């Protein structure tokens, strides 16, 4: 590991000021991704600003009935919080499907959003990678790409974003609150991560020196049910081949009146399925309607040489979730027990 300097910030404002004074700095919270990348030589910050002790570890109700989550809330605490389990079950399920118990105890909410791709070529300093070294090429395009993107990728990068939590947050229309040199601003989670385009080295829309301070979850529509499901190679400690988070509500006639759907494991960011959502609203709550809506979304998929299986896999995951959630009319709304 290369030498670096270190300081601990005591307030969010102090952290932002410290970053401005050190242009090659990084914020350090749980460190479950950044430290690994530093050991590999992928990340080489000259200065670390420890933000793990900042007073950003509360989960509080908002006046409109939502939740405001501090960026330093640990993943395990967020997953187990009664307000999350009761009101946002897909978020709890997504968190519990990621990493291990030990890592969830260390990883923070803000850090989870900022974790970088697990593409093996990105982590291998001997392989060309536009995300690590812009202009060097993308080894995965014609290499081993079974785990790579099928939506929204470019010739410059086909990596996927690894977060389970972010997929659920996108389906819940959550927002990210950031503090930077220019003040406070909010960004929808669904727009927080970038598609690669010709600048794959930029994972998010964060500006230099901006620090995630909070997440805000809006109230869930009355009568909605939600769940997260993840398809992966093994039962634990594996990243998604395809995953989906669904929030859906019906009217009294069995017609979909609210639907949000986000996919994981398919793109450089959590993929908010706007085309499918538009097709779902006003449709009958039945498997055939769900399949048509999801198929309309996945028409945009451009599989690589080894990952065409992800398209029918994602279809099955999403249709199963929608079918199961809408078929359980006798359960408590916003519940997803047994999904």
Write out pLDDT tens, residues 145-165: 999 999 999 999 999 999 999
Q: What is the pLDDT of residue 339?
A: 52
Region 184-210: mean pLDDT is: 98
Instruction: Look at residue 138 in the predicted model and tell me its pLDDT.
Output: 98
- The reported pLDDT for the residue numbered 338 is 40
Kindly state the tokens that stand for 63: 């006046």
Among 267, 333, 327, 320, smallest CA distance to 298 is for 267
Label residue 23 by pLDDT band (50, 70, 90).
Answer: confident
Mean pLDDT of the chain: 95
Give the angle subtended at the CA of 213 by the CAs of 207 and 216, to the nearest 5°.
105
Closest Cα to residue 116, out of 131, 136, 128? 131
Tens-digit pLDDT profile for residues 198-216: 999 999 999 999 999 999 9
CATH of domain 225-327: 3.30.390.50
Query: Region 271-292: what's the mean pLDDT?
Result: 98
What CATH number labels 5-52?
Answer: 3.30.43.10
| Residue ranges of the chain that CATH labels 3.30.390.50 | 225-327
Give ranges for CATH 3.30.43.10 in the chain.
5-52
Question: Region 287-314: what's the mean pLDDT?
Answer: 98
pTM for the full predicted model: 0.96
Q: What is the pLDDT of residues 231-279, one digit of tens each?
A: 999 988 899 999 999 999 999 999 999 999 999 999 999 999 999 999 9
Nearest by Cα to 163 from 100, 106, 117: 117
pLDDT band (50, 70, 90) for residue 337: very low
Per cent of the chain over pLDDT 70 is 96
* Buried b or exposed e, range 129-146, using 16+ CB within 10 angstroms: bbbbeeeebbbbbebebe
């Amino acid at each position: 590991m290369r030498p670096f300097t270190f300081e601990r910030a005591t307030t969010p404002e102090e952290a932002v000021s410290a970053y401005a004074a050190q242009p090659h700095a990084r914020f350090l919270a749980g460190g479950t991704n950044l430290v690994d990348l530093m050991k590999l030589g992928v990340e080489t910050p000259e200065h670390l600003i420890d933000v793990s002790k900042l007073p950003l570890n509360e989960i509080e109700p908002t006046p409109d009935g939502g939740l405001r989550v501090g960026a330093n809330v640990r993943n395990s605490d967020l997953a187990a919080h009664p307000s999350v389990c009761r009101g946002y079950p897909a978020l709890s399920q997504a968190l519990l499907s990621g990493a291990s118990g030990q890592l969830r105890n260390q990883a923070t909410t803000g850090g989870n959003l900022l974790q970088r791709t697990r593409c093996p070529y990105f982590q291998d300093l001997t392989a060309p990678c536009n995300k690590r070294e812009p202009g060097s090429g993308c080894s995965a395009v014609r290499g081993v790409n079974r785990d790579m993107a099928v939506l929204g990728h470019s010739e410059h990068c086909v990596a996927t974003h690894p977060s389970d939590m972010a997929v659920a947050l996108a389906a819940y229309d959550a927002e990210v609150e950031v503090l930077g040199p220019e003040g406070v601003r909010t960004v929808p989670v669904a727009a927080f991560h970038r598609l690669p385009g010709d600048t794959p080295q930029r994972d998010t829309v964060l500006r230099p020196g901006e620090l995630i301070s909070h997440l805000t979850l809006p109230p869930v529509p009355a009568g909605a049910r939600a769940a997260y499901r993840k398809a992966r190679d093994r039962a634990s400690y594996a990243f998604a081949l395809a995953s989906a988070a669904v929030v859906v509500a019906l009217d009294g006639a069995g017609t979909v009146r609210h639907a949000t759907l986000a996919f994981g494991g398919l793109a450089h960011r959590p993929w908010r399925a706007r085309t499918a959502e538009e097709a779902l609203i006003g449709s009958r709550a039945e498997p055939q309607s769900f399949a048509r809506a999801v198929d309309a979304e996945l028409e945009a998929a451009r599989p690589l040489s080894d990952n065409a299986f992800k398209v029918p896999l994602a279809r099955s995951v999403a249709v199963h979730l929608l079918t199961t959630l809408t078929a359980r009319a006798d359960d408590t709304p916003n519940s997803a027990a047994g999904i």
